[in-house]
Amino acid sequence: MRTLVFDPSYGCAGDMIMGALVDAGVEFDALKNELSKLRLDGYSISAEKVSRNQISATRVNVECEEQSAHRHLKDINGIIDNSTLSDSIKSKAKAIFKRLAESEAAVHSTSIESVHFHEVGAIDAIVDIVGACIGIELLEIDRIVSRPVALGSGMVKCAHGNFPLPAPATANLVRGFPVRMYTVNSELTTPTGAAIVTTLATPLLGPFAGTVRSLGYGAGTREHEDHPNLMRVFVLDDNSSLESDTITVLETNIDDMNPEVYSALFDRLLSGGALDVYLTPVQMKKNRPGQLLTVLCETGERSKFERLIFAETTTTGIRASVCTRNKLPRHSETITTQLGDVKVKVLESEGHRRVVPEYESVKIVADSNGMSYLAAHEAIIDYINKTERES
């Protein structure tokens, strides 16, 4: 598996990410050729070697005739959809722009359809975002993780006036993502850079192992005396077939609540998007028996689930920790058995394949055939085993 590690510890921007990917091995001519599939006129792109704080890096320059453009999300999606780029590049680029639109909409209290992109709607921003997606595909990346994002301080001039740094759009984009706050009086991370990193990567907080295949430095336009204006990437190979992501674990001890409440609580947590919810019996102070409530959730949804737990239980405090989770690669399929169609989960690792029927699907099949759940489950497992042996 090939992993791309973003290292925006000193900041990031769209052109810096492109520069880092070129520095890490993306052929610049191949990048230009793919960008031509956007069918955009009025810009030129070049790459050069530069030095930032005595570190060699690649600077990608996008020069445009267009001085300003106010595009809606649908306009940018139209440009991307009308290109001849691959579906995976289109999908990534549109996801980044959607995230940008959501951030701008939150800042200005409007809908994503009504957002007028200013700086990020210009041709150079479109080239930066699509170019980053192209570079990732050319490097044949399987997964992307990122170290914390650097944020500067001071003020920045935007289309709507002067804003404090990090810019409001950037601040929204890094919600739920680890950051590093610096006192450097400069915009270290732009909305475009933040959108690319937080859309495509999962946070890297725990240990990570692999063999470094290449690394690259992408340079920004500014130079700071003590703070290198660089974005670094690592391309790593590892032999693991596991997928990984980062989740938040919420825990609280409860010893004074009616047990009937847990059923409704579980329903609300799971319907709200919790990854898992469970109880563990514990012995608490004053020798009182209690329950340890554990909720696993996406890191960006921590606040939502904390509010729900406080509202629905008697607890007065919640512990939170961020964990790296390794997972077997999986996908869903629908198989046709002698009892009817059944949804299954397919797990794969080290050349082995395991097919597991989904509970709700088995229940539907059991009811429709007038069978017990156990009998239907056993019949489906027998069918799966027979089919797997014959394949």
333-355 burial, b at 16+ Cβ within 10 Å, e below that, comes to: eebebebeebbbeeeeeeeeeeb
> The CATH number of the domain where 255 resides is what?
3.30.70.1380
Residues 132 and 54 in one domain: yes
Q: Based on the fold, state whether residues 134 and 263 are members of the same structural domain.
A: no
Query: Are both 264 and 372 inside the same structural domain?
Result: no
Question: What are the pLDDT digits (tens) for 187-237?
Answer: 899 999 999 999 999 888 777 778 999 999 999 987 777 788 899 999 998
For residues 252 and 372, membership in a common domain is answered with no
User: What pLDDT is attached to residue 66?
Assistant: 62
Do 231 and 220 meet the contact criterion of CB atoms below 8 Å apart?
A: yes
The rounded distance, in Å, linking the Cα atoms of 249 and 264 is: 20
Shared domain check, 280 and 163 = no
- As for how many domains the chain has, the answer is 3
| 104 and 166 both lie in a single domain | yes
- The pLDDT, as a whole number, for residue 159 is 59
- Residue 364, helix vs strand vs coil: helix
d(CA 233, CA 248): 25
- Give Cβ neighbours of residue 106 (< 8 Å, ≥ 6 apart): 172
Strand pairing partners for 212?
Answer: 236
- Within this chain, do residues 41 and 176 fall inside the same structural domain, yes or no? yes
In this structure, the answer to whether residues 256 and 382 fall within a common structural domain is: no
Distance CA 355, CA 361 (A): 14
Residue 337's domain comprises 330-390
Among the candidates 241, 274, 309, a domain finishes at 241
> Residue range 68-79: average pLDDT?
82
Residue 161 Rama label (left phi>0; alpha psi -120 to 50; beta): left
Local confidence band at 246 (pLDDT 50, 70, 90 cut-offs): confident
State how far the Cα of 299 lies from the Cα of 330, in Å rounded to an integer: 21
**Over the stretch 140-156, which tens digit does the pLDDT of each residue have?**
998 899 999 999 888 77
pLDDT at 176: 81
122 lies in the same domain as 269: no
Give CA–CA dist 105/113, Å, rounded: 9
Mean pLDDT, residues 270-294 taken together: 95
| 260 vs 126: CA distance, rounded Å | 53
pTM recorded for the entire structure: 0.70
Greater pLDDT, 109 or 74: 74
Which of residues 326, 346, 373 is at a domain's end? 326
- In angstroms and rounded to an integer, the radius of gyration of the C-alpha atoms of the chain is 25
Q: What is the DSSP letter of 167?
A: P
Which of 188, 223, 241 is where one domain is finished? 241
